[in-house]
């Protein structure tokens, strides 16, 4: 029998459980109780939870209430996509953050909520102001964590996010801003793009990321600042790979564009070692971009800078149609990355630059220990951020943006 969940609208405790069920992709039967009709005080409900509070779950004959207990039960009973960490240290930290939240934040939040909704406390009282200060302090500890990672603990959504998400609603009302924090040890660079596709290429899925043929991690796109390109209007592609390249000249990166979306490629944007593109005049070890039309006629575009040995990300510039290049505002693409061993990987997708997400800064340096607060306009979507000077494992990241179209 399907798992059943009893919940009430606007209850952050119930949200925790719904988030866990969704995250674990567990099918469930939803019972939305009406507080106004006192459905949570009915004799049937009180049999499940004598306190008359949501959430409650029923899994076969087993009934559980108290949101944190439910999360714990669900994780033990359905261990796939764990929410209490992958090892004792992660579990300890997740539980620590939850305990801190419950001991120091939740108790104060409930005083403020009481003041606003139930009228049990005077909103202007010293006690409420004091509670607000304490909650602000606790919120900052969570915010500091989120400045360094997309999730409250570690690299994944966990029970800590589910528990603290009630408090984070204020943050979620303004998710058009992102924080980037340089954890050190050196100054770093951040490069922001609109994500084109997050999955790997055709040769890999999430379970095969280590396969030799799985090269592509993500592709992003943006219009570059013309000041960086002598006034030319240039489209930059941000590419991240699953593996490091010893020298970027070991890679040939082709973006085949179907500009009129008729199923036939009409433009080849290529990034490769200059010598391989122009054996007579090209300099070996200099990485460049070039553009070719459907007849094979082409031109050298830009020298690619900014990469380092053993990186796995690159920013590739190509001049657009308004400055004499072949990149239009909208097209279907086939990204093909080929390494020196002749292994190649392919990703296909569609790009529409009218849907570009525009951060107020998309290319900047940031000192160790500093954070940058970046506002984004342009609508909803996902951004790809590349950190070329970071350690290779952490050179790319994605973030969801929700803004009104500007």
Binding residues for ligand GSH, per CB under 6 A? 8, 11, 13, 40, 52-55, 66-68
Secondary structure of the chain: what % helix, strand, coil (to 5)?
30, 30, 40
Contacting residues for 300 by C-beta, under 8 A, at least 6 apart: 274, 277, 278, 288, 289, 290
Closer residue to ligand GSH in complex, CB, 9/330: 9
CB of 102 to ligand GSH, least distance (A): 9
Closer residue to ligand GSH in complex, CB, 108/273: 108
CB of 98 to ligand GSH, least distance (A): 11
CB of 73 to ligand GSH, least distance (A): 12
Closer residue to ligand GSH in complex, CB, 5/180: 5
- Tokens 């992102």 belong to 178
Closer residue to ligand GSH in complex, CB, 109/326: 109
Closer residue to ligand GSH in complex, CB, 165/371: 165
Per-residue CA distances from 121 to 12, 112, 250, 388 (Å)? 20, 8, 67, 51
- Which H or E run contains 344? strand 344-352
Closer residue to ligand GSH in complex, CB, 53/347: 53
Handedness of CA 395, 342, 347, 233 (dihedral sign): positive
CB of 157 to ligand GSH, least distance (A): 19
- Tokens 């009406």 belong to 34
CB of 172 to ligand GSH, least distance (A): 18
CB of 108 to ligand GSH, least distance (A): 15
CB of 12 to ligand GSH, least distance (A): 6
Closer residue to ligand GSH in complex, CB, 40/111: 40
Please give the Cα distance from 109 to 166 (Å, whole number).
10
**What values do phi and psi take at 131, rounded to 5?**
-60, -40
Strand, helix or coil for residue 156: coil
Contacting residues for 225 by C-beta, under 8 A, at least 6 apart: 363
């Amino acid at each position: 029998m399907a798992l059943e969940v009893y919940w009430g609208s606007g209850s952050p405790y119930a949200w925790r459980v719904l988030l866990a069920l969704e995250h674990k992709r567990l099918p469930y039967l939803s019972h939305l109780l009406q507080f106004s009709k006192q459905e949570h005080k009915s004799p049937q409900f009180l049999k499940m939870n004598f306190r008359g509070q949501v959430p409650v779950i029923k899994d076969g004959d087993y009934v559980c209430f108290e949101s944190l207990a439910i999360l714990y039960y669900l994780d033990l009973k359905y261990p796939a996509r764990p929410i209490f960490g992958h090892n004792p240290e992660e579990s300890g930290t997740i539980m620590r953050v939850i305990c801190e939240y419950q001991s120091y934040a939740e108790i104060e939040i409930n005083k403020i909520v009481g003041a606003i909704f139930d009228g049990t406390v005077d909103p202007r009282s010293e006690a409420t102001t004091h509670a607000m200060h304490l909650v602000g302090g606790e919120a900052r500890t969570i915010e500091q964590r989120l400045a360094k990672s997309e999730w409250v603990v570690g690299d994944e959504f966990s029970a800590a996010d589910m528990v603290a998400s009630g408090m984070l609603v204020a943050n979620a009302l303004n998710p058009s801003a992102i924080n980037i924090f340089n954890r050190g040890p050196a100054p770093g660079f951040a490069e922001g793009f609109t994500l084109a596709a997050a999955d790997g290429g055709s040769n890999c899925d999430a379970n095969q990321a280590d396969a030799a043929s799985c090269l592509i991690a993500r592709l992003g796109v943006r219009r570059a600042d013309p000041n960086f390109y002598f006034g030319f209007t240039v489209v930059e592609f941000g590419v991240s790979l699953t593996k490091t390249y010893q020298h970027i000249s070991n890679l040939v990166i082709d973006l085949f564009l179907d500009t009129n979306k008729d199923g036939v490629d009409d433009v080849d944007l290529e990034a490769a070692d200059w010598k391989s593109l122009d054996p007579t005049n090209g300099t070996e070890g200099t990485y460049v971009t070039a553009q070719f039309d459907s007849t094979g006629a082409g031109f050298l575009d830009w020298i690619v800078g900014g990469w380092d040995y053993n990186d796995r990300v690159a920013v590739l510039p190509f001049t657009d149609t308004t400055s004499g290049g072949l990149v239009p505002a909208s097209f279907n693409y086939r990204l093909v990355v080929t390494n020196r061993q002749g292994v190649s990987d392919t990703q296909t997708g569609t790009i529409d630059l009218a849907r570009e997400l525009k951060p107020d800064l998309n290319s900047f340096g940031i000192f160790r220990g500093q954070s940058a607060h970046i506002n984004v306009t342009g609508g909803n979507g996902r951004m790809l951020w590349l950190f070329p000077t970071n350690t290779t494992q952490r050179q790319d990241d994605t973030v969801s943006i929700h803004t009104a179209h500007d």
